[in-house]
Amino acid sequence: MDYLTLIQILDSSVRLATPLLLACLAGLFSERAGIFDIGLEGKMLAAAMFSAATAAITGSVWLGLLAGIAASLTLSGIHGLASITFRGNQLISGVAINFLAAGITVLVAQDWFRQGGRTPQLSGGARFEGFTLPFAERLGAIPLFGPAYEELVSGHSILVYIAFLAVPATWYVLFRTRFGLRLRAVGENPAAVDTAGVSVVGLRFAAVAICGVLCGIAGAYLATALQAGFVKDMTAGRGFIALAALIFAKWRPWAALWTCLLFGFLQAIALRYQNIDLGAITVPVQLMDALPYILVVVILAGVGGKAIPPRAGGEPYVKER
Amino acid sequence: MDVMPKWAEVILVPLISLILAAILSALVIIAIGEDPVAAVQLMVTGALGSTYGWGYTLYYATNFMFTGLAVAVAFHAGLFNIGGEGQAMLGGLGVALICLLIPWPHWSLALIAAAGGAALFGAAWAAIPAYLQASRGSHIVITTIMFNFIAAAVLNYMLVNVLRPAGAMDPATARFPETVHLPSLHEILAPLGISFSKAAPANVSLVIAVLACFLVWILIWRTPLGLEIRSFGKSGRAARYAGIGAVRITMIAMLISGGLAGLMAINNVMGEAERLVLNAVEGAGFIGIAVALMGRSHPLGVFLAAILFGFLYQGGAELALWTSIPRELIVVIQALVILFTGALDNMVRMPLEKMFLAMRRSREA
């Protein structure tokens, strides 16, 4: 494998890691606040459909992004209503949201465009184009560093840079602000937060809303940047890989970045090579597809330190009466 | 003391949830410019108006009985088995291996062995998540989700690289031999003088599904093991204090659950397709969640909910055929049922409880 191929694979890893990273950070906010969210997949899917549809109709990808975020936030609202207000089972609510999104996206896309549940192909202003960083072309001439800068760092859509900037931002918000401290506390010991006079319900809804916005960006990225339009079930399990990454990263933002890059890399490899020939053994492509999930099970089995979720995760908070 | 009488708990709450889901579904149908009344009429004639329709409805219902029971048994132990999909996929693998590798003289022997294989493979696929939950405390929902994806990869590998007959293009096994063909309802009912559609896929597995409902009822409410499962589900700590081993009960409940999900394969793989294809389960593992929630985890409830969902599936297929409503409408309805009977249960329950409390007070006063 030559240097340029390596750069290309890494470049594609970054592109594939972006939606995982956004969804993973989304889940991080929600689960740190004690709300399990297995509906990341559904929120991304809904955002993908509505962003692509809006972009196709208006011709503006930014309006599409807003529509995607709105769709994702609506589902977040349902999740919040079910799991915070009515203290329902958060996992069941997540399952319902995934199915709701899987069904409604095809239903709406078919009703609006009559193209078998997909949106029209997006082009021009209806799509996020690559964003060339300064001096990319001039620095590209430098050996080794040049191609890496031009191909790998520069030339992605703006949402990729937003996703990567979201990592330090998440770290800062969670670990350096009062809001973040309270948000983490509400996921560990909501009664203590309540005693301190801070609204548990308010904090949890805020966390679920942030989760919705991030999932919305992730979905919009899928349909308007990574690909040009929505097709049925286009998230293809990415929400669950993000969930796996979140556990693998033990609910920490920087670790989430590395994990998502790793999982993106695995996807890029699986996409480029069908079966990997290692001389003595051939690694089948199916193993590459399943590797993120297998890795998580291995982590959950206790190899490499215990992954401990936030203590109050999944538990509805009942104020004492 | 319970606030609500038992009939309200068992019938009223699910019924109201179902009505809410139906109203929202009707709104969705109106929103895409179709007539909900006509849609329901079409579904009823399509799914229940002929023995052909019934044959499909009961075929789907058979799948959902198995997966619904699987989720219900795990629910009784306080476990959420979301991995029915993967367990049913592996069950299919077990059925395919047994039907293809052993020359069976008669379908009845093959059915017994295939059922055993399906249950064994399904249970094995549930065993690792169960063990991790029981001994490591890793959340069973997460591990069973991951195992669904791993199952899909395993099945893909087996079909593409191992089981695909030489020269065939599509990833599927060879057709099972004629001798393992399961009698369809048409063949069972014809000697009794009842004519039933020849084309419909409902088969003898339906009898086994009904039998499974009955056996699960006995297990949960009439055996010491069932009592242990239920006590563990109500309060793990109290159960442990009473000497019920957490690891043991978690393992047993999940093995039964996985086995039931795997058993589905005798219907869809052996009874219908008569070969193993990639997408054999078609989401039935997930519908089991809706069925178990709707049926309040009671075998009778699961039986009725499975028939309801069988009706929705066959009716939905008819809708997609004759109108511009895509099949995905059924997925939306399924989501709404899960939402209202599962996650938003309290939304339905709280006003009802208030109502019954007020009624009781006025009676006492």
pLDDT per residue over B66-96, tens digit each?
Answer: 999 999 999 999 999 999 999 999 999 999 9
Contact between B267 and B63 (Cβ < 8 Å): yes
Place of tokens 């991995």: B83
pTM recorded for the entire structure:
0.91
Structure-block tokens of residue A10: 């890494």
- Compare all CA atoms of chain A with the CA of B329 and give the residue at the minimum distance: A103
What span, in angstroms and rounded, lies between the C-alpha atoms of B265 and B272? 9
The answer to whether A243 contacts chain B (CB < 8 Å) is yes
End-to-end C-alpha distance for chain A, whole angstroms = 66
Q: Give residue B13's pLDDT.
A: 85
With cut-offs at 50, 70 and 90, classify the pLDDT of residue A1: low
Shortest distance, CA B335 to any CA of chain A (angstroms) = 5
pLDDT per residue over A81-132, tens digit each?
Answer: 999 999 888 988 999 999 999 999 999 999 898 888 888 888 887 888 777 7
> Is the per-residue pLDDT at A305 higher than 70?
no
pLDDT per residue over A124-167, tens digit each?
Answer: 878 887 777 777 667 767 777 777 777 777 778 889 999 999 99
The answer to whether B27 contacts chain A (CB < 8 Å) is no
Contact B82 A240 (CB under 8 A): no
With cut-offs at 50, 70 and 90, classify the pLDDT of residue A304: low
The answer to whether B347 contacts chain A (CB < 8 Å) is yes
Contact A107 B344 (CB under 8 A): no
Contact between B114 and B266 (Cβ < 8 Å): yes
The answer to whether A102 contacts chain B (CB < 8 Å) is yes
The answer to whether A93 contacts chain B (CB < 8 Å) is yes
Give A81's contacts in chain B (Cβ within 8 Å): 344
pLDDT per residue over A240-283, tens digit each?
Answer: 999 989 988 889 999 999 999 999 998 888 888 766 676 667 78
Q: From the centroid of its chain, how far is CA A49?
A: 15
pLDDT per residue over B16-53, tens digit each?
Answer: 888 999 999 999 989 888 888 999 999 999 999 999 99
Shortest distance, CA A80 to any CA of chain B (angstroms) = 11
The answer to whether B346 contacts chain A (CB < 8 Å) is yes
- Compare all CA atoms of chain A with the CA of B83 and give the residue at the minimum distance: A95
Shortest distance, CA B263 to any CA of chain A (angstroms) = 23
Q: How many CA atoms lie within 13 A of B83 on its CB side?
A: 37
| Range in B69-83, B262-276, B319-333 the model is least confident about | B319-333
Of B337, B226, B347, which Cα lies nearest the Cα of B288? Answer: B337
Structure-block tokens of residue A51: 């962003």
Q: Residue window 221-250, chain B: list those with CB within 8 Å of chain A.
A: none
Average pLDDT over residues B315-333: 89
Structure-block tokens of residue A70: 């709105």
Q: Give residue A320's pLDDT.
A: 67
| Pairs of CB atoms within 8 A across A/B | 153
| Angle B240-B242-B247 from CA coordinates, rounded to 5° | 30
With cut-offs at 50, 70 and 90, classify the pLDDT of residue A35: very high
Place of tokens 């695995």: A266
- Compare all CA atoms of chain B with the CA of A247 and give the residue at the minimum distance: B142
- Compare all CA atoms of chain B with the CA of A303 and give the residue at the minimum distance: B136
Give A297's contacts in chain B (Cβ within 8 Å): 128, 132, 143, 146-147, 150
Q: Residue window 207-226, chain A: list those with CB within 8 Å of chain B.
A: none
> Is the per-residue pLDDT at A321 higher than 70?
no
Long-range contacts of B18-23 (CB under 8 A, 24+ apart): B18/B294, B18/B337, B18/B340, B18/B341, B20/B336, B20/B340, B20/B348, B21/B333, B21/B336, B21/B337, B21/B339, B21/B340, B21/B341
Structure-block tokens of residue A5: 């191929």
The answer to whether B80 contacts chain A (CB < 8 Å) is yes
Handedness of CA A92, B286, A41, A57 (dihedral sign): negative
Of A35, A141, A21, which Cα lies nearest the Cα of A89? Answer: A35
Handedness of CA A280, A284, A285, A290 (dihedral sign): negative
Give the three-class secondary structure for B126. helix
Shortest distance, CA B282 to any CA of chain A (angstroms) = 13
Shortest distance, CA B233 to any CA of chain A (angstroms) = 15
> Is the per-residue pLDDT at B1 higher than 60?
no
Q: From the centroid of its chain, how far is CA B146?
A: 19
Q: Give residue A73's pLDDT.
A: 97
Shortest distance, CA A90 to any CA of chain B (angstroms) = 7
| Range in A16-20, A73-77, B151-155, B241-245 the model is least confident about | B241-245
In chain A, what percentage of residues exceed pLDDT 70? 94
As for the ipTM of the complex, it is 0.89
